[in-house]
Structure 1
Amino acid sequence: MVNNNEKDKSSQVTEFSKEAGYYLQKGVHCLNRSQLKKALKYFRKTIETDPHNTYTHYNIAYILSRIDYLKDINETFQEILGTTYNLPEASFLAAIYYSLTGEMDLAEKELEKFLEIAPEGEIMEEAREMLNLLSGEEEIYENLSYIKLSEKYEGVIQTVKEKVKRNLECPFFRVKMLENLYQLDDDLTSNIIFLYGLAENSTIAERVLRHFIKSSWAKEMHKELAMLALRDIGAEEPYEVMMENRIVKVTLKEYFERIPQWEPQWYQVMEKALENIKYNKYHSKTMEGELKEVWNQYIKVAYPEIPPVRDINLWSAALEYLTFKKRGINLNHKEISLKYRVFPEELLEKYKEMGQALSR
């Protein structure tokens, strides 16, 4: 039987992961719009929000190893570490990054540093495994039924690219890759997409990835990874991808730019509502997550016709009221308006306006 404390802890962990994923997505979006400083800010926030998530470390290190065309790579890497370097996990991130860029001595040094300062850390096993690989004490597994985190590090063994491309010619290997690609396991799916992305100029990898991004069930993050992998293997644009229940042809740039660039006031509305929702008697971490989801959805459906945000308090009050109403919790709108110091009639008007946009 799970006690209430355990439930609360579980919901908090889920919430943190959700936030980290949000910051990572924003970072990738800014990067694709050549907004490097904003991207670095979001990547740094991702690490700070969820420092023990090895999947996040890998993704950021992989992205950084691909952006040397925007800025000197070492300078960029130092910027992303920034204030996160007081976290032991920053050394693990550094090790992944250096292995991706082929600087094995530096990678080993960072891993040894991490194991020294955090011998009982949550990602200790992954760090030891990676150090063993860098030291040549283990072979990369060829059986894809046992894909491990260590196999994600391009540059650990230079022959990985050739091995993947060569093995794609083998029917058994291709079947195993497809089986794992369509498993309901986010890490495993990401691993397989990454492996396909190593097979430069492979018509087999291109065919599989092009089919994958047209899948109705494929998650947003996996579609993004697959399209980046298609670019890496030299597949020509445009790509046909499932968007809002229909297949459309888009370039990589067009696909990432479909997400509206948030205005500063939109963040302020959400932050104000999150600050005030804590004083609601129905407050919970779950409701905070619901509020973020409602606001994100509103921005998505109302864009680009979102009215100017002239009164942050009014929008935040309507957002809080709408969030609870969607969960079937009837709040007194006059109490909400008093908390935010806005007129009750204006709150109801804004609430109806937002609700109509979401029901389109």
Structure 2
Amino acid sequence: MKPPEFIHGMIGILSLCFCHVCHAFSPIVIHRQELWKSEMEAEVHLYRTPILLKLPTGDLLAFSAPRKTTGSDKSAKFIAIRRSKDGGLQWDSTRIIEDDYDVEDGLNLGSAMVDKVTNDTFVFFGYCLHTPGPCTSPYREKGVYFKVSHDWGYTWTQAINVKETNPALAGLTWAPGPGFGIQKELEPNKGRLIGCGHRVDVPFRQMQCIYSDDHGKTWQMNSPLYGLPYSQKQAVGDFTPGETQVIELTNGTIFVSIRNENKFHCHCRMQSISYDGGYSFPIPNLIIQESLVDPSVFGSLALLNGTLFLSHPYNADSRVNMTLQWSFDSGQTWPGAVQLYEGPSEYSSLAQIDHEYLGLLFERDGYKYIDFFKIRIR
């Protein structure tokens, strides 16, 4: 990291906290634990794409998608999971819940969500998304798949192609997450399950969400937020909404934080809201949030006591400086920030543990580790 970049970034963060409202919080990491380490040997080259999910039982589930032989998105992987029953202080051993064996272009995790009515847990992943044309895998066809657990993640069904619930989704080239999905708790569309991601087709780079209004029996795709120029290869500076984290605000609207893939307008994050349960995110609702300086990376969200939190690397060009920022007005302004980790920091996932603590799962030090931080907010 270049010293001027770091100094500029930290001055920006500190300046955010000169306002009196920032004194309402003094977040501090009270527990830190390494959950996965990339050994560069055996069957794990890199542990990637962390997802942290809080279950209604109080348990935390940590997901990752280890890459077996290469760090590339186009590689063989499996889905790993660990559980904590005490708010993240202790974790059980790693279990494998899905394996794509030796497929060159295998699975990509994905999005996890819980239906609090049926007590079902879902995890989504894309398959063979980086290969033009039909998938060459002998195991399954190109598309988006999900697994279901009826016992809070202890056992899982076989992977189900979303086309089995909706034939219109056959061969879908949509990358879910990587992050958590939600179930709406308020109107409109109370009870809806929704997870967001992006289309990986080069001509059609766009943000898009999948949703279900019947507890996961059938799935639909929402109206996309299209990239521009449409149906053309995009370049630096173009509008390219990428990986997306979704959350429901306290008034029932849907808020999304979006990776600004090609740094449209600035080196920062984009965000939008939906008033129709996540079916559409109209352009007038889009905000290019210059205060959220970002190198183009996935960022995560959490809502705690009415305050919206965001985790991401706060740096214009490099994936360094994992930072927690917060907003008291549903994302319109972000007056508070605290640095959690100074060094290389990549993808992250936030979860509310209780009324006082947040959990953070994130990649660090060039994807060598996935760590869990327990953060006391007050």
Point out the structure with the larger strand share: 2
Point out the structure with the larger helix share: 1
Bigger relative contact order, structure 1 or 2 (CA pairs below 8 A, ≥6 apart):
2
- Which protein is bigger by CA-based radius of gyration? 1
TM-score (norm 2): 0.27
